[in-house]
Amino acid sequence: MRSSMEKILVVGAGFMGSGIAQVCAQKGNLVFLTDAERSAIDNAINGIRWSLGRLAEKGSIKESPETVLKRIIPQYSIQKANEADWIIEAVPELEDLKKNLFAELDSIAPSKTIIASNTSSIPISSLAAATGRPDRVLGLHFFGPVPLMRLVEVVKGELTSDEVFERGAAFAVSLGKIPVRVTRDIPGFVMNRIFTAAFREALDLVDKGIVSPAEVDIGMREGYGWKAGPFEIADNAGLDTIELIGKALASLGEGQLSPKGDLLTRMLKEGKLGKKTGKGFYCYDSAGRRLPGQASFS
C-alpha cells in the first residue's frame, strides 16, 4: 500500500519528464527532477508553472500552483536516487544512454526502490539487464501531454515480479491515470505499435501527394473517433522523437513499423520538429497554440 507521500526521482526534464514530475507533485508526492542540462530543468519548471496556472484558471486543481511547485525540487545530479521510492527515467530513446543510466541508478538506489522507464519502444528486459534488480524494473509509458492524457502502459519485463507489476498499475491509478497492463515485453509495446503502423501509412500517403496532413487528421477524428489525428500526435510528441522510435524499432527487427519515405528526414533537416520548434506538420505560436496553415514539406 502506498504512503500519502512518496519520494520520486524523475530523470529527464523534457516534455515527458516535466509532465510526469507535474502529475506526481499534483498528487502530493515529493519529486526530485533532474537533467543533464541545467537549462532543461529551468525550462521545465517554467513550463510546469504555466501548466499549473492554466489548470488553476479552469478550476482543475485545488491547490495553488506555487504549493504544487514546492514539491518539485530541481536536482543537478542523480544522487537523490539514494532516497527515492520510485525512479522514473524519461531521457531520449537511445538504448545505450538508458542502459548506462540504469546501471548508475542501480548502484545508488536502495534495494527497495522500483526503477521505471518511460520508454515507448525499447524492451524493458534490455534495460533491466543493466541492473542487479531486474525484478524491480518495469515500464511506465506515459502519453503526452502527461497532465492531460490519462493513459499509461504498464509493461512487465521478462523478470519483473508480479508484485512490482501490480504496484506499477496501482501507482498509475494513484496519479489519476488509467493503466493498460502489457504482460509481454515486445518492441514498441502495444499502443506505439498500433500508432506507428497508422503513422507510417499516413506519412506515405502525404509524401506521395495523395492527401494532406490536415485531411488525414480530420478523417481519423471524424471517421474513427480519435481525439487527435496522427500528424497532430506526431507534432506534440516531437518529430525527432518519432524518428528515434522508428530507428529503435528497426534495430530490434521491427522495420515494418518505421516511417516510409524520406519526408520525415527532410523535415528534421529543416528543423521542423513539431510544436517545440513552432513548425512541424502544422505551425504554432510561442505558446504552442496552433496557427492556421501548415508547414511546407518541400
Encode pLDDT of 217-237 as tens digits. 999 999 999 999 999 999 998
Residues 171 and 79 in one domain: yes
Length of the chain: 298
My answer on whether 26 and 108 are in the same domain is: yes
Looking at 29, 117, 118, 141, which residue is catalytic? Answer: 141
Model pLDDT for residues 31-49, shown as the tens digit of each residue: 999 999 999 999 999 999 9
Residue at 255 is within a domain: yes
173 and 204 part of one domain: no
Would you call 141 a catalytic residue per the annotation?
A: yes
Gyration radius of the chain over CA positions = 19
- Whole-number Cα distances in Å, 228 to 22, 160, 247, 294: 23, 33, 24, 16
The pLDDT of residue 1 = 42
Cβ-based neighbour number of residue 225 at 10 Å = 7
Number of domains in the chain: 2
**Of 150, 182, 214, which residue sits at a domain end?**
182
Residue of 89, 93, 153, 243 marked catalytic: 153
pTM for the whole thing? 0.85
The reply to whether 82 belongs to the active site is no
Four-CA torsion 56, 5, 170, 27, nearest 10 degrees: 0
Alpha-helical segments (H) within the chain: 15-26, 38-57, 65-69, 95-108, 124-128, 162-174, 191-207, 213-224, 230-237, 239-251, 263-269
Residue 248 lies in a domain: yes
Nearest to 184 by CA among 163, 162, 159, 158: 158
pLDDT confidence band for 4 (50 / 70 / 90): low
Q: Are residues 161 and 276 in the same domain?
A: no
201: domain range? 192-286
* Residue 151 and residue 13 share a domain: yes
In a domain, 297, yes or no: no
Distance (Å, whole) CA 79 – CA 210: 52
